[in-house]
Every structure is written in C-alpha cells, then in structure tokens.
Amino acid sequence: MRLNLHTDYALRILMYLATKSDQASVDEIAGAFRISRNHLMKVARSLVELQLIEARRGRSGGFALAVAPEAINVGFVVRKLESLESFVECFDRGSNNCPVAGACGLQGALNGALAAFLDKLDEYMLSDLLPDRNRFLRQLKAFDQAPNSPKTSPIAA
Amino acid sequence: MRLNLHTDYALRILMYLATKSDQASVDEIAGAFRISRNHLMKVARSLVELQLIEARRGRSGGFALAVAPEAINVGFVVRKLESLESFVECFDRGSNNCPVAGACGLQGALNGALAAFLDKLDEYMLSDLLPDRNRFLRQLKAFDQAPNSPKTSPIAA
DNA sequence: TTATAGATGTATCTCAAATACCACTTAATG
DNA sequence: CATTAAGTGGTATTTGAGATACATCTATAA
C-alpha cells in the first residue's frame, strides 16, 4: 500500500507554487526537488486538467496556481489522482473475479477505512500544509546549493 | 494507492478457514478462489509467522486458524502485512530525500489519514467480515462448479 | 519581421518490483 | 512405502515509474 509518486509530486508542485506565489517552470520545480523533469511534466498535466494550475506555453511561460491555496483541498487532490476503484480487486466491478463478493464484509470494511482516510485529508487545505513558507523556501535553497546539486539554480533568483 | 494482493489473499485465507472452521490445504483454498497456489503458499507462511494460523505438514496436513475469528483484528493483519513505512517517500527515514521535510505539513496530514484508515479497520474482527457463512460457502461452491473451474473440486467434499 | 531561445507537451523505451509460475525438497500418515 | 501436503528457491511475466528523445508553441531580441 503506497501513495502513487504521481500524487506525491502533484502535491509538491502545488506546495511549491503556493510558496512562490508566482509562476514557475517544470525545470525549476524538478530541479528544486531533484526529481525527473519529464515525469513531473506528466503530473503537471494532470493538475492542469483538474484546473488547479494553469499553463502558459512558450518563452517566459510556466505553471501557476489557478486557485488560491486556501481553496485547494488536499482530499480533493488525492481523490482525483489516486485511482481508488482498484484499491483492492473487488472494488472494480469490471475486473472483479472474487467469488464471495457480496457474502464477504471485507469490501465494506475497506471502503469505510478508505472513506475515513479521505475524510481526514479533507480537513486540510493546501495552505495548511505550509505553516512556514520562509522555512520551506530556505530549505529548498539550501538543498539546491548542497553537493550533487543540479547545474541549474533557478531558485536563487 | 492499492492494497497489496498479498494482504488481500491473507484475508481471504483467514475468511476461508474461519468459514470452514476446520483445516484446509493451500491447494483447496487456491482452487476455491482460482488464484496462484504458490503465491498463496507464501502468503500462508506470513500468517503462520504471525501465529494467526497453524500449519500441519504431511499427509492429512493443512492450515487451520490458531485463534478464534472473534479474536483476529483486521487492522492488526493489515498493519503487519503492509509495509507502511514506505507509504510515501518521506515516511521512510532511510530513503527520504525530500528537501522540505519538516517544513511541509504533508507528512503529518498523511500520517493522520493513515491512522484514521487503520483505526477504522481496528473496529472489525475477522468474524465481522463473515455475516453469512452459509452464503459464503454457497458462492464458493457455485464458483467451483462454474465453467473454467479448476480440475480439483475439494469444496464439494 | 523573422530567427531563436525557452518553455510546454507527447510518444516511446527501459528498468524494477509485484505477482505468478515451476520444479523440487521435506515431512507425516494411512 | 506410497501418497499427500507443507515448504523453498529460482525464474518468468506483468505493470507502472521513470528516462529519453523529440515535437510544438510563443515571447523576445536582432
């Protein structure tokens, strides 16, 4: 049981953009966290489709929050990005091949537990994840200047 | 985000043994659900190590519950079988490479949500998952006799 | 006005981990 | 002692994360 990296990265993008309160390119964000630029781009696409961020193409383009951090719900993001229909085989009507479906309380128990999980996340807005934005930026900057740092250093700007 | 098949299978073994309230071989259980015998054996091993079931080798051997269904907690099983330290990168002190650890509230939020998930499962005992054991057995039997059924039919016995 | 740099966007390949399968060994009992 | 079942190690397969490469768009500088 693992949160998809896709969702993890999505939340990092949102936190980064919220902290910067300005647009940023995928290269910048990928460099800041030292993660795959191309994978991050795919994640950013998902966020665009969810209308949580906006993309501007071309030179001086980038991504920016489309909604205020106070209005972005963490549970919403996780619900949208995690394909919870396949949390366990019997959740997926299509591929379910479990012979005891209906006679087994596991489905209901897991469903309730998953609901509790999401309900808890619903209590958080993006802004709640960033209690100290200065510290957030400071740590990213320190990381950028640490050994093994990527060639680009757009954070310093 | 998916529950490992390993955990799913573990719960199926437990439910099967509880319903039968007798010992059963891995072949029997694998046949009943039409899932991999060898994989299921590995899962059964995990349950033996957790002392939830007992193994008897040799002819007329098999697996049987080591604890009453009313005393096996679903949350306990899931906690033991799912490696939740790697639920998200920053949970694992060893491999965590996130530069904003400490300045980011995501870790706390996810931790709380995961706790809510497990707490919910703690409300269920194995016996709660089996409200109608006759129906459970009936469906398994029907599945066994359906087309594409495996050659062995130990359920009929 | 046009070339170019800097950005988003997309198609495809590689690799690792989870899962499934296979062959074999060991143990117990009828 | 033959049979049935647990137990083990190794190998194939599948799936999704991540990497690579390339295509497309647009502001800006010459």
Q: Is A71 on the interface with B (CB under 8 A)?
A: no
| A83 to A40, A41, A117, B87, B127: CA distances (angstroms) | 18, 19, 14, 16, 29
Specify the range with the lowest mean pLDDT, choosing from A78-87, A115-124, B94-103. B94-103
Between residues B75 and A35, which one has the greater pLDDT?
A: B75
Position A94 scores a pLDDT of: 63
Q: Residue B44 domain-assigned?
A: yes
CA-CA-CA-CA torsion for B42, B46, B48, B53, nearest 10 degrees?
-90
Model confidence pLDDT, tens digit, residues B51-89: 999 999 998 899 999 999 999 999 999 999 888 888 888
Residue span of the structural domain in which A139 resides = 5-72+125-156
A112 in contact with nucleic chain C (CB within 7 A): no
A115 and A136 fall within a common domain: no
Q: Residue A132 domain-assigned?
A: yes
The integer distance in angstroms from the CA atom of A38 to the C1' atom of C8 is 11
Q: Is B32 on the interface with A (CB under 8 A)?
A: yes
Mean predicted confidence (pLDDT) in A81-104: 80
Count of domains observed in chain B: 2
Sign of the C-alpha dihedral, residues A90, A96, A101, A104?
negative
Q: Residue A49 domain-assigned?
A: yes
pLDDT at A108 over 50: yes
Q: What is the chain A residue with the closest CA to B97? A: A33
CB count in 10 Å sphere of residue B119: 14
pLDDT at A137 over 50: yes
Sign of the C-alpha dihedral, residues B91, B93, B96, B101?
positive
A109 and A141 fall within a common domain: no
From residues 5-34 of B, list those within 7 angstroms of strand C by Cβ: 5-6, 9
Regions of chain B with pLDDT less than 50: 149-157
Of A86, A109, A116, the CB nearest to B2: A86
